[in-house]
Structure 1
Amino acid sequence: MAQQDPHRTSLRVGRLSKAHGLKGALKLELFTDDPDRRFVPGAAFSLQVPPSSPWHGSSIVLSELRWYNGSPVAFFEGVADRTAAETLVKAILWTDDTDQSAEENAWYDHQLVGLRVKRDGVDVGTVSRVDHFPSQDLLIVATDNGDVMVPFVAAIVPLVDIDAGTVTVTPPYGLFEETPDDGHENGAKPASDPTE
């Protein structure tokens, strides 16, 4: 998980996915391994919303976090009904990162940009930037053949070694190379060729 801004000590901890009920509650998608520490009554969050949102440039304070069927639902001060809650749908929550060491697998963008990207022990490019989206972050890797967008998830980016200056990737076939259109490159004949 990447943190968005090298000039602020904030951590992206959640996304408000949809209104829940009639009393201003919102379903919460967690981006933190420690919700019990991050989401306590009185915790304040900066909001990442479009410029057109009435919440642009605002922060919000949690009044209560409840769990329904194993899913977190948040209540916030000043959000009294479903209409108000719906104005917050898709907002991303950021919190002051007073203890970064307690959050595993969290890096600031400036720590990632410039790292060498290694695949099977071979350098394949360099991280040029990090793009943040509600569903996941993307590492943009500059290669000899142009930029490659790499989903910043453990299955594809299993290791970030800041000290070594490297990111190890295990991408699916086709992410860093062009795949043949006909399935039999290098002059090979298809299996159904009657001359074989």
Structure 2
Amino acid sequence: MQLVVGRVGRAHGIKGEVTVEVRTDEPELRLGPGAVLATDPASAGPLTIESGRVHSGRLLLRFEGVRDRNAAEALRNTLLIAEIDPDERPDEPDEYYDHQLIDLDVVLADGTEIGRITEISHLPSQDLFIVERPDGGEVMIPFVEEIVTDIDLGEQKAVIDPPPGLIDDRAARDEVADGHRVSSRDRDEESGAGA
């Protein structure tokens, strides 16, 4: 199985180094010296990493055979692709690779179907499952232990225990009264809080 692990940015200096936008949780494993990577476009590779270092918070790589700035610039925007074993798991038991989570069915503990994971969004504070609902809509589910209670790769499902309002607007439905929706402003006025 192939996995995009980085994208080549601009050249750095005059000796063939390039900046790399990292797209893997394990750069030391996937983008370490000696790693051989396929590329997109395929004509740019395969590329073998000769050396790497972090400079001003950015990963810099040098590839075998890329010796000057012009050769490095020619690689700009090239995707770096690693070949990985589809059964390979991260070292931590509660961690997963994106490809293992994509297409899992998302269900509640009682088996109610919520949808299917189509994408993982990696944000600075947490990861999100992008879930396609059976009706074609989308819902974002934080990948945190309090909400995602179980990942079962054998059954190809993720079990969730969402707070009210995350999956559907249960709280808003509860507020429908006399055929019209009661807004939070209406509730405040009824209770005298808005006065």
Change in CA separation of 1:170 and 1:48 when aligned onto 2, cut-off 3 Å? farther
Change in CA separation of 1:120 and 1:64 when aligned onto 2, cut-off 3 Å? same
Change in CA separation of 1:195 and 1:169 when aligned onto 2, cut-off 3 Å? closer
User: What are the residue-to-residue correspondences of 1:108-119 with 2, within 5 Å?
Assistant: 108=99, 112-113=102-103, 115-119=104-108
**CA shift digits 1:96-136 (9 cap, x unpaired):** 22582346412546x742x3213576634332x74589999
**CA shift digits 1:125-183 (9 cap, x unpaired):** 332x745899999745232x3242647x745867532124322457798774469xxxx
79, 85, 89: which one pairs with 1:101?
A: 89
Aligned to 1:141: 132
Whose Rg is larger?
Answer: 2
Higher relative contact order (CA 8 A, sep 6+): 1
142, 162, 165: which one pairs with 2:156?
A: 165
The answer (yes or no) to whether the contact 1:25–1:74 under 8 Å persists in 2 is yes
The answer (yes or no) to whether the contact 1:130–1:137 under 8 Å persists in 2 is no
Aligned to 2:39: 47
SS of the residue aligned with 1:101? coil
How far apart, in 1, do the equivalents of 2:160 and 2:84 lie? Answer: 27
TM-score by length of 2: 0.60
How far apart, in 2, do the equivalents of 1:81 and 1:172 lie? Answer: 55
How far apart, in 2, do the equivalents of 1:195 and 1:94 lie? Answer: 59
How far apart, in 2, do the equivalents of 1:195 and 1:154 lie? Answer: 37
**CA shift digits 1:68-117 (9 cap, x unpaired):** 234321111233333433343343322122582346412546x742x321
SS of the residue aligned with 2:14? coil
Change in CA separation of 1:20 and 1:35 when aligned onto 2, cut-off 3 Å? same
Aligned to 1:188: 182
Is 2:16 aligned against 1:24?
yes
Structure 1: runs of 5+ lacking an equivalent:
1-8, 50-54
Change in CA separation of 1:126 and 1:45 when aligned onto 2, cut-off 3 Å? same
Aligned to 1:10: 2
TM-score by length of 1: 0.60
How far apart, in 2, do the equivalents of 1:39 and 1:141 lie? Answer: 32
How far apart, in 2, do the equivalents of 1:101 and 1:13 lie? Answer: 16
**CA shift digits 1:9-48 (9 cap, x unpaired):** 3333333344323333222233444433333333210113
How far apart, in 2, do the equivalents of 1:176 and 1:139 lie? Answer: 12
